[in-house]
Amino acid sequence: MGSISDPSKLKPNPRLSLFSTLPPIPADEPFSVNGAYLSDTHPQKVNLGIGVYRTSTGNPWPLNVVEEAESRIYDARNKDRHEYLSIQGDREFLNLASDLVFGFDSTTSPQIRDRVTSVQTVSGTGANRLGAELLSRHIRPKTVWIPNPTWANHHTIWDLAGVPEKSYPYYDAQKKKFNYIGTMESLSKAQKNDVVILHACAHNPTGADPTPTQWESIARLCAERGLIPFFDLAYQGFASGDAAQDAWAIRHFFGLELEFCVAQSFSKNFGLYGQRVGALHVVSFPSLDKNTAAGGVGGDILANLCHLVRGEYSMAPRGGAEIVRTVLGDAELRGRWYEDLGVMSTRIQDMRRALYGELVRLGTPGSWEHVLDQVCSALILRDIVS
């Protein structure tokens, strides 16, 4: 008797697959450039793909302080180290993560307690996605205003969240600067509850940020028009070497009692790219109604975020968050993290100075001062290559 599952008896199925109507999806640019880089055998190849820190020998750099935290975690071998986290995530990690953004101790500051709801996410991308989902389902913005250019994934994230997008002209390619006037003109057409994507520091891909005075005007405009700022914070401390300075704009917006979101990533500033460590912080007005109050257990914002997380992936992974908690929760390790941040940001600035010097030495046509003015960013390299 032949078995039904005998593969030799299976006939090719002439029916069209259910999936034959799936739309073609263009390859993700940074990841395909990275793939091309890896398969290229040229000895002088340069990687202009994914934004990751590399040493002078072109290798990844596990931060010294991260290695120290990993060995402490390993030595402690806590019995609960493989347990589920809560849906919200590791609360101690979240308090430290929000302290890093907002600049004061969230365990003691009533202001933070009243106004900030934090949930652990699958890194910065997950935080952007979760925030987009919350706003799209419950606030229903008519438009999300996305800077042109931007990190390409913003388009995908908001498209998947079903919110129509408009762009604002962020970059003046001629002057190689942030386009303040164009940005203000566009955003003054935005409607109440529209979302505005803002890069908190080290704008990707241009490396051009607003000045503090320009940030103040953007914040005022958002407050006057009832817009919802959405900060993408992927490079805190990586840009200037100073974590507080890189969070300046967010802290300013907090002071104005705006309601907004912050998508925080620890990929770059801790070198924990593959660990997927991040947090979404939702800043709301202080509320008299305890149920809509933000951070407290039982708050509606937290409950809704947890509902979305539960239906998506239950909770964020624990390993990387444990490393960040170990570092930020220990004064000595935190000091050593600031040193490691200094190593990375100084090297990036040194590379920019060296590149500028070489371009000038070779008499390369054009002006290259923006190479010195801008932070992080691969756009200058693309300028040169193209």
Ligand X SMILES: Cc1ncc(COP(=O)(O)O)c(C=O)c1O
Residues with catalytic annotation?
151, 232, 268
Q: Is 210 in the site for ligand X (CB under 6 A)?
A: no
- Of 47, 95, 265, 374, the residue at the interface with ligand X (CB under 6 A) is 265
> Which residue lies nearer to ligand X by CB, 123 or 240?
123
Give one DSSP letter per residue of 170-217, joined into a string. -EETTTTEE-HHHHHHHHTTPPTT-EEEEESSS-TTT-----HHHHHH
Distance spanning both ends of the chain, measured CA to CA: 67
Stretch that binds ligand X, among 14-22, 121-129, 136-144, 169-177 (CB under 6 A): 121-129
How far is CA 78 from its chain centroid? 30
Q: Which residues contact 89 (CB under 8 A, 6 or more apart)?
A: 119, 120, 121, 279, 315, 316, 321
Q: Is 278 in the site for ligand X (CB under 6 A)?
A: yes
Shortest distance, CB of residue 324 to ligand X, whole angstroms? 12
Q: Binding-site residue total for ligand X (CB under 6 A)? A: 13
Q: Is 199 in the site for ligand X (CB under 6 A)?
A: yes
Q: Which residues contact 98 (CB under 8 A, 6 or more apart)?
A: 106, 112, 116, 118, 279, 281
> Which residue lies nearer to ligand X by CB, 254 or 273?
273
The angle subtended at Cα 228 by Cα 295 and Cα 284, nearest 5°, is: 20
Q: Is 151 in the site for ligand X (CB under 6 A)?
A: yes
Q: Is 320 in the site for ligand X (CB under 6 A)?
A: no
How far is CA 189 from its chain centroid? 26
Residue nearest to ligand X (CB): 124
Q: Is 207 in the site for ligand X (CB under 6 A)?
A: no
Q: Which residues contact 372 (CB under 8 A, 6 or more apart)?
A: 352, 353, 356
- Of 125, 143, 179, 377, the residue at the interface with ligand X (CB under 6 A) is 125
Shortest distance, CB of residue 150 to ligand X, whole angstroms? 7
Map residue 244 onto helix, strand or coil.
helix
Q: Is 269 in the site for ligand X (CB under 6 A)?
A: no
Stretch that binds ligand X, among 117-125, 299-307, 323-331, 334-342 (CB under 6 A): 117-125
Q: Is 120 in the site for ligand X (CB under 6 A)?
A: no
> Which residue lies nearer to ligand X by CB, 109 or 156?
156
- Of 204, 206, 269, 345, the residue at the interface with ligand X (CB under 6 A) is 204
- Of 194, 232, 259, 322, the residue at the interface with ligand X (CB under 6 A) is 232
User: Which residue shows structure tokens 């990586």?
Assistant: 238
Q: Is 267 in the site for ligand X (CB under 6 A)?
A: yes
Stretch that binds ligand X, among 93-101, 118-126, 158-166, 301-309 (CB under 6 A): 118-126
- One-letter amino acid of 280: L
Helix/strand number for the chain, H first, E second: 15, 9
DSSP 24: P
- One-letter amino acid of 169: P
Q: Is the peptide bond before 149 cis (omega within 30 degrees of 0)?
A: yes
Stretch that binds ligand X, among 36-44, 179-187, 265-273, 346-354 (CB under 6 A): 265-273
Q: Is 124 in the site for ligand X (CB under 6 A)?
A: yes
> Which residue lies nearer to ligand X by CB, 90 or 232?
232
- One-letter amino acid of 78: N
> Which residue lies nearer to ligand X by CB, 120 or 204?
204
Structure token digits, residue 213: 């005075």
> Rounded to an integer, what distance in angstroms lies between the CA atom of residue 289 and that of residue 300?
10
The site for ligand X (CB under 6 A) is made up of 51, 123-125, 151, 199, 204, 232, 234, 265, 267, 273, 278
